[in-house]
Amino acid sequence: MSEASTLFEKIWQRHLVRPETADTPAVLYIDLQLLHEVTSPQAFEELRQRGLGVRRPDRHLATIDHSTPTTPPDEKGEYAWYTAQAKKQVDTVHVNCAAHGIEMHSWDSPNRGIVHVMGPEMGATQPGMTIVCGDSHTATHGAFGALAFGIGTTEVGHVMASQCLLQNKPKTLGIQIEGELGPGVTAKDVILHVIGKIGVGGGTGSVIEYFGSTIRAMGMAGRMTVCNMSIECGARAGLVAPDETTFAYLEGRPKAPAGEAWEEAIADWKTLKTDPGAVFDQLVGIDAADIEPSVTWGIHPGMVIGISETIPGGENDALNYMQFESGAVLTGEPVDVVFIGSCTNSRLADLRAAASILRDHKVATGTRTLVVPGSALTREQAEAEGLDEVFLAAGAEWREPGCSMCLGMNGDIARPGELVVSTSNRNFKGRQGPGVRTILASPLTAAASAVTGKVTDPRKFLEESA
C-alpha cells in the first residue's frame, strides 16, 4: 500500500481480520450491527438451527421501525397493526433480542426510531467504525466517517455469529463538491443532483467519499442525507471525513466516549481523512452553483431535474407511469400527498426546514401532509421548540416515529394514481403503494408543495419572507 491513503483504505485496513487471497475474500471485523424487525428473524433462526449464539451482543443495537404504526396506541394500549404478520415480526425481534442479550429500543425507549436516525442520535455511530445493518440505507452512518453498508439476511447471520463479514475490497470514488449552495438549495438537492449526474449505476462497486467546501459547510443532518442516498447510485457506501462538526455533534451523547476516552478518541478521529496525494479509482467534480432545488420526474432516483428544468424525453415507460410529458415542467403539477420523513430527511434540521415554510401558512385543501419524525428523541426535541404546533396549525399530520410512507410496510400508503412529493429516497413504481407516483424532493420543496397543493419551487417562499 502506498503511504498516502484514502479515508476508506484507513478504515478498511484497521478492520482486516484476514486479507483477501486469490481464492477467498477479506474477513472484515464489524464494530456495530444494527437490527430491526424485518431482516433479523431468519438470521436468528439460522443461528438457532446451527446451535450458534451471538458472538458479541454488546456490538448489536436493535429497534423497531419498518412495520410499526405511526399512529398512537388506543386507550387499551393496542397499536393499529397493518397486518398480523407485522405485529409478529415486531414481537419476534423482541423475543430474539431478549434471548441473546441484545439492547433493544422498543416503544418505551426515548431513542426508538428509524435505525439510521437512532444510531447517530445515541452516539453509537462513531468515526472509523465499521457498521452494518440489513437495510440498504445503512450508508447514512458514513456521514461520521464510518464505513457503513447494507447487507442481506444471510450476512446479518454471519455478523451475529462471528462479528465478521466477507468482503471483496471495493473501489473508491471521490466526489468533490465546491462552493456555496444557493438559497433554498439543501443537502437533499445536492445528492439528487449527484445521482442525476453520475446515474443510478455510477457508483457501482465503489465506496464514495464526499468532500469539498460544500460538504464541510453542511451540518451532520445534511451529511447524513447525502451519504444515505449513496446506494441509489449503486455505491456500497458513502463517507465524509470527520471534523469539528462531527465531534461537536457526538460530544455528550449517551454512547459516545467521555472524559479521557473522549480526548483519546478525538486525537484518533482527527487522523481519519484522505491524505494529500492519495488516489481515488475515480473522481467526479461538482460545482455547487450548478445545483438548484432538485426533483425526480421518473421511476428511479437518477431521473432528476432542477425544478426550473423541463422533463427530458426518451423514457416512455417512466413518463407513462408518472403521467408526465417530456418538455413540460413539474412545477404546477397537482399534488395529492406530501410526505416529510424517512431515514433521508426526518431529523430535527429537516423538520425545522419544513416548518420554516409551513409556519404562517396552511396546507392546501386536498393535499394530505404527513410529518413523521425519525425518532422519539427527534419528536421530543421538535415538540420542545413548538414545531408540532406549526405542523398541526398548518393542517399537517404529526405522527409517531418510523419508516412510514417511505416504503409503506406499515400501511402508510397513498392511493393508486396519487402524486406524492416525498422527502424519502426511492421513487420506484409502487414504492409508496400500488400505482402511486412519487417525486423525491427536499423538505423545503415538499413543504412549499404542501402549501400550494402543486409542485412548487421553495425559493418562492424564501423571497416572500425576505
Partner 1 sequence: MSRPDIESRTFNLAVENIDTDQIIPAHFLTMTGRDGLDQACFHAWRFNQDGSEKADNPLREHDVENQKVLVTGENFGCGSSREHAPWALLDYGFKAVISSRFADIFSGNALKNGLLPVVVKPEVAAYLLAHPDSGVSIDIGRRSLEIEDYGEFEFPLDPFSAYCLMRGIDQLDFILQGADDIGRYEQSHGK
Q: What is the contact surface with partner 1 in residues (CB under 8 A)?
A: 14, 17-18, 22-25, 27, 29, 31, 41-42, 45-46, 49-50, 55, 59, 83, 85-86, 88-89, 92, 152-155, 157-158, 161-164, 166
**Nearest distance, CB of residue 31 and partner 1, angstroms:** 7
Taking the least distance from each CB to partner 1, the nearer of 49 and 465 is 49
Taking the least distance from each CB to partner 1, the nearer of 60 and 361 is 60
Taking the least distance from each CB to partner 1, the nearer of 41 and 373 is 41
273 is written with which cell numbers?
Answer: 481523512
**Nearest distance, CB of residue 79 and partner 1, angstroms:** 17
Taking the least distance from each CB to partner 1, the nearer of 148 and 175 is 148
Residue 112 backbone dihedrals phi, psi, to 5 degrees: -55, 140
Q: In one letter, which amino acid is 269?
A: W
Whole-number Cα distances in Å, 418 to 28, 199, 321: 44, 26, 11
> Taking each helix axis from N to C terminus, what angle separates 348-358 and 376-384, rounded to the nearest 10 degrees?
40
**Nearest distance, CB of residue 239 and partner 1, angstroms:** 20
**Nearest distance, CB of residue 13 and partner 1, angstroms:** 11
Taking the least distance from each CB to partner 1, the nearer of 47 and 295 is 47
Helix (H, G, I), strand (E, B) or coil at 61: strand
> Taking each helix axis from N to C terminus, what angle separates 387-394 and 376-384, rounded to the nearest 10 degrees?
90
**Nearest distance, CB of residue 57 and partner 1, angstroms:** 14
Spatial distance between the Cα atoms of 445 and 422, rounded to a whole number of angstroms:
9
Taking the least distance from each CB to partner 1, the nearer of 31 and 350 is 31
Taking the least distance from each CB to partner 1, the nearer of 18 and 362 is 18
DSSP 343: T
**Nearest distance, CB of residue 344 and partner 1, angstroms:** 21
**Nearest distance, CB of residue 11 and partner 1, angstroms:** 13
Taking the least distance from each CB to partner 1, the nearer of 66 and 116 is 66
- Pairing mode, strands 368-371 and 337-340: parallel
Whole-number Cα distances in Å, 202 to 7, 230, 311: 20, 10, 21
> Taking each helix axis from N to C terminus, what angle separates 153-162 and 41-50, rounded to the nearest 10 degrees?
50
Taking the least distance from each CB to partner 1, the nearer of 41 and 174 is 41
Q: Which residues contact 192 (CB under 8 A, 6 or more apart)?
A: 229, 294, 295, 296, 301, 304, 440, 441
**Nearest distance, CB of residue 93 and partner 1, angstroms:** 9
Residue 339 backbone dihedrals phi, psi, to 5 degrees: -115, 115
**Nearest distance, CB of residue 307 and partner 1, angstroms:** 33
- On the 0-12 / 13-18 / 19+ scale of CB atoms within 10 A, 171 is middle
8 Å CB contact between 204 and 235: yes
Q: Is residue 210 within a helix (H) or strand (E), and if so which, with residue range?
A: strand 206-211
- Pairing mode, strands 304-306 and 337-340: unpaired
245 is written with which cell numbers?
Answer: 462538526
**Nearest distance, CB of residue 47 and partner 1, angstroms:** 9
Taking the least distance from each CB to partner 1, the nearer of 17 and 99 is 17
Taking the least distance from each CB to partner 1, the nearer of 41 and 196 is 41
**Nearest distance, CB of residue 201 and partner 1, angstroms:** 13
Taking the least distance from each CB to partner 1, the nearer of 128 and 401 is 128
As beta bridge partners, residue 35 has 62
Residue with cell 423514457: 315
Q: Which residues contact 58 (CB under 8 A, 6 or more apart)?
A: none
Ordered DSSP codes for 394-428? HT-EEPPSSSGGGT-TTS----TT-EEEESSS---
**Nearest distance, CB of residue 382 and partner 1, angstroms:** 32
